[in-house]
Structure 1
Amino acid sequence: MTFNNIISETENGITTITINRPKKLNALNRETINELHQAFKSANADKDTKVIIITGSGEKAFVAGADISEFADFDEAQGSQLAARGQALLFDFVQNLETPVIAAVNGFALGGGLELAMACHFRIASNNAKMGLPEVSLGVIPGYGGTQRLPQLIGKGRAMELIMTAGMIDANQALNYGLVNHVTSQEELLPFSEKIASKISRNSLVAIGQAIKAINANYEEGVNGFEVEIEAFGHCFGTDDFEEGTSAFLEKRKANFKGE
């Protein structure tokens, strides 16, 4: 599959998706959002892909925000449609993928960039990363899930302050807040992310997909996460991976999961 704004490469069970608009600091425009949707969808369907890593090209930015020039003249209805379409096509889509997604955050992750990173299952940052949701400085609010995911990750008070001040935090502050799991040097960001991805890939991808579903259920209004967990737990008993995992444990050998 050929893309204009992203690069997607698969090696050793890891698909790395790189947003490749360095002159625009990898800002998200409509075309890039559409391409990311297709790349994530393709990787999720690919049996050779066990983990997805998303990052930005260059040293300056993961994603420096949305491409403001595309919506500066929108009216209320168009603004609502923009947010709804983007959430469904990319941000919610990524959050609910069965394949684990790691955001390798290099440089600036602002606005839609931080919202994309937060939609991933967890985040690793380089020590030059800067993160924030500056939308109120433009007279708008985060529209790609930022007002929902940021409080879930760092707490209501901190999220309120960060959004209201349109401020930025550095990688160490993000680590302290629990917004990212690890901080590395920029040179080690992808190797470190790949190391964690390799650890994940040795486990049952069927079970991981069910775990993602159950964890996400806790944040869905009107959904009982415990009931989803019970159903997902039971589902695992009908898989080949469960039979292989339990057999390997009893036979004192390493499991060879097929993801089925």
Structure 2
Amino acid sequence: MVDELLLDRDGAILRVTFNRPRRRNALTWEMYDALLAVCHQVEADPGVRVLVLRGAGGEAFVSGTDIAQFAEFASGEDGVEYERRVSDVLEGLTRLRVPTIAVVTGWCVGAGLAVAAACDLRIATHGSRFAIPIARTVGNTPSLATIALLADQLGVGRTLDLLLRARAMTAREAHEAGFVCEVCGDEEIVERTAEIERRLLEHAPLTMWAAKEAMHRLRTARLPDDTDILRRVYGSEDFREGVRAFLAREPPRWGGR
């Protein structure tokens, strides 16, 4: 397992920490692959009954994908492959037989928001913020599967609001939307998470699995192919300009091409 993904086994609970605090836990390709490997590990271990995801450092759960990696993209096919990698991880999380908890402290952005959405329950501190700012940063697009996941968890209107206005949603808004099940202070987050863990360990595993599986089937039954959308956006001049400007810390000049 990569050093940026720390595992802590506590009886029937497996806690995973995204450990790149200097980069606000931005995900690398290796971290995506390691998280998918964790999903396979959980499925193969009947002793694990709860999976918890959290971010190190207190500033972020996950601040998205590490944008520096996008500079390596040569065509739209690279974007298609990237989104498939993300979708594989989200699918791995949503299909787990055990309940999953995202513990959000600070920023939960882009792919980080998608990872949190793929979990069954989310708890956040009062100062946490949720965003998908790509319309004003790198100019890429999530896959249809990711957008469908966000729309199911947040609602269509709020998902479009976050995507089009590229604004940040507060923890209070996320709670009012039903996305976050509980909001608490920084000093309470560990205790409140532990209480949720204890409750889940007391509940019927098959009932919880059935609820999760039903939600997954309802969401994925309607998804069409999105390869043409991903190829067009990730192969565009705007995407290359967005990545260049982001890494140079300059405002992007969008051309719509």
TM-score, normalised by the number of residues in structure 2: 0.81
Aligned residues with identical type, % of pairs? 27
What is the letter of the counterpart of residue 68 of structure 1? I
Alignment match, 1:253: none
Residues 141, 115 of structure 1: alpha-carbon distance in 2 compared, 3 angstrom cutoff: same
What CA distance in whole angstroms lies between the structure 2 residues aligned with 1:94 and 1:124? 17
Matched ranges for 1:48-59 at <5 A = 48-59=47-58
CA deviation profile, 1:86-125 (whole Å, cap 9, x unmatched): 211x111101111111111111000011010001112111
What is the letter of the counterpart of residue 3 of structure 2? N
Offset at 1:156?
1.3
Alignment match, 2:244: none
Query: Contact conserved, 2:87 with 2:146, CA < 8 A, in 1?
Result: no
Offset at 1:32?
0.6
What CA distance in whole angstroms lies between the structure 1 residues aligned with 2:63 and 2:143? 15
RMSD: 1.7
Aligned-partner SS, 1:71:
helix
Aligned-partner SS, 1:218:
helix
Alignment match, 1:201: 201
Alignment match, 1:113: 112
Matched ranges for 1:169-180 at <5 A = 169-180=169-180
Offset at 1:142?
2.5
Matched ranges for 1:86-105 at <5 A = 86-88=86-88, 90-105=89-104
What CA distance in whole angstroms lies between the structure 2 residues aligned with 1:204 and 1:178? 23
Offset at 1:148?
1.4
Alignment match, 1:181: 181
Alignment match, 1:168: 168
CA deviation profile, 1:130-149 (whole Å, cap 9, x unmatched): 10111122211224844212
Deviates more, 1:79-88 or 1:42-51: 42-51
What CA distance in whole angstroms lies between the structure 1 residues aligned with 2:222 and 2:87? 19
What CA distance in whole angstroms lies between the structure 2 residues aligned with 1:73 and 1:20? 23
Whose Rg is larger?
Answer: 1
What is the letter of the counterpart of residue 41 of structure 2? S
Alignment match, 2:81: 81
Query: Contact conserved, 1:115 with 1:145, CA < 8 A, in 2?
Result: no
TM-score, normalised by the number of residues in structure 1: 0.80
Matched ranges for 1:113-152 at <5 A = 113-137=112-136, 138-143=138-143, 145-152=145-152
Gaps of 5+ in 1: 224-260
4+ aligned runs moved over 4 Å, structure 1? none
Aligned-partner SS, 1:52:
strand
Deviates more, 1:137-146 or 1:187-196: 137-146
Residues 145, 126 of structure 1: alpha-carbon distance in 2 compared, 3 angstrom cutoff: farther
Residues 188, 4 of structure 1: alpha-carbon distance in 2 compared, 3 angstrom cutoff: same
Alignment match, 1:252: none
What CA distance in whole angstroms lies between the structure 1 residues aligned with 2:143 and 2:149? 11
Higher relative contact order (CA 8 A, sep 6+): 2
Offset at 1:222?
5.1
What CA distance in whole angstroms lies between the structure 2 residues aligned with 1:7 and 1:129? 22
Deviates more, 1:200-209 or 1:50-59: 200-209
